Amino acid sequence: NGFKCHCMSESHQRQLLLASENPQQFMDYFSEEFRNDFLELLRRRFGTKRVHNNIVYNEYISHREHIHMNATQWETLTDFTKWLGREGLCKVDETPKGWYIQYIDRDPETIRRQQEQERKKKQDLDDEEKTAKFIEQQVRRGLEGKELEMPVYTELNRENEEEKVTFNLNKGASTSVAASSKTSSVLGQNALKMVEGAVKRKEAAHSSGQSKEKKKKSALDEIMELEEEKKRTSRRDYWLQPEIIVKIVTKKLGEKYHKKKAVVKEVIDKYTAVVKVIDSGDKLKLDQTHLETVIPAPGKKVMVLNGGYRGNEGILESINEKRFSVTITIDSGPLKGRRVEDIQYEDVSKLA
């Protein structure tokens, strides 16, 4: 023990001598190590979430082999936090509760996903605009010919004050007939014209109503078909869902977890999942590229992960190995009982 202490004392003195010869070199080295370890912990532990800088720092110094901040170029944690913001490594903001930091992920794969999300979002907006224009056209088409022939009214005159006038009201259409021998011919002709006009208007309204009903039905059918097609073809570049069973396909974790099945317990930022390995009970945080779906035996419950029926649970009916697809029957929600064929393997997975 005395020999070890003696050797360590000499090694420590030698380190001090080297540091005294070129202190800036040692400070730059420790500063770089501290920065890299701190950012790695922030990225791995908190991702791109906004978090208080003290929380990250306390977790960092909890590790035995950490570099103390006194050995770096930053005197305080606040100085280091401000430096991260100036260098563009993190988003930082000061609040009454202190400084908060948010890691900026500049990984090419992450940037590609963000660009893909923006492109998909823009495509969805374009589809919504097309649907709105289509509905507007259908409404305008349905309103064409809505204006009906306006009724023509004739003035009712009588030459003799002693004449009696009777009114016959029939279904909202007023018909005036004068019961007078002197004006029977004139009033009779006017009454006949009014009756004929009312009949024509009624027939026109009836035929227009039928035509409008047909147009409405046709437009509704077209809109439903358009929405059905949109749902059927709408796909996302992310598919993870909680409580589904997946298979670990990455070899970066070693043979211990390769090809093992796990249950998705939590989905983070759409593309990352916290999974629990079924055999060992270990919890892992993995990207969806390191996982694949699991197809159970017919009769088991599954969940649709992509496409128009995304999020629906169903019963696996059959498996088409030649087309790498399955047929399911949805057993919950408004679409319960619907049979859906030719769903690809990667769009459905077994439920836990």
For the cut 80, the answer to whether the pLDDT of residue 207 exceeds it is no
For the cut 80, the answer to whether the pLDDT of residue 300 exceeds it is yes
Residue-wise pLDDT for 93-119, tens only, equals: 999 989 999 998 877 776 777 777 777
- Burial (CB count within 10 angstroms: exposed 0-12, middle 13-18, buried 19+), residue 314: buried
Residue-wise pLDDT for 155-174, tens only, equals: 666 666 666 666 666 544 44
Mention every residue, 6+ apart, whose C-beta is less than 8 A from residue 105: 43, 47, 48
Instruction: Tell me the average pLDDT across 292-296.
Output: 94
DSSP letters for 295-327: ---TTSEEEE-SSTTTT-EEEEEEEETTTTEEE
Nearest-Å Rg of the Cα atoms of the chain is 39
For the domain made up of 295-351, give the CATH fold: SH3 type barrels. (2.30.30)
Q: Is it true that 1-103 and 295-351 share their CATH fold?
A: no
**What is the residue-averaged pLDDT of the chain?**
77
CATH class of 237-294: mainly beta
Place of tokens 């649907």: 131
pLDDT at residue 156 in the model:
64
Beta-carbon-side half-sphere exposure of residue 281 (alpha carbons within 13 Å): 0
How do the domains of the chain map onto residue ranges? 1-103, 237-294, 295-351
pLDDT at residue 159 in the model:
65
pLDDT at residue 277 in the model:
94
For the domain made up of 1-103, give the CATH fold: Arc Repressor Mutant, subunit A (1.10.10)
66 or 290: whose pLDDT is higher?
A: 290
For the cut 50, the answer to whether the pLDDT of residue 139 exceeds it is yes
pTM of the complete model: 0.39
For the cut 90, the answer to whether the pLDDT of residue 70 exceeds it is no
pLDDT band for position 183 (cuts 50, 70, 90): very low
- Cα–Cα distances (Å) from 334 to 34, 84, 218, 302, 338, in that order, read 55, 50, 24, 17, 9
Residue 65 identity: E
For the cut 50, the answer to whether the pLDDT of residue 179 exceeds it is no
DSSP letters for 28-84: HHHHHHHHHHHHHHHHHHHTT-EEEHHHHHHHHHTSTT---GGGSS-SSHHHHHHHH
217 or 138: whose pLDDT is higher?
A: 138
pLDDT at residue 184 in the model:
47
- Cα–Cα distances (Å) from 166 to 7, 140, 179, 187, 332, in that order, read 131, 44, 7, 12, 66
Residue 347 identity: D
Distance CA 348, CA 325 (A): 9
What are 103's strand-pairing partners? 90
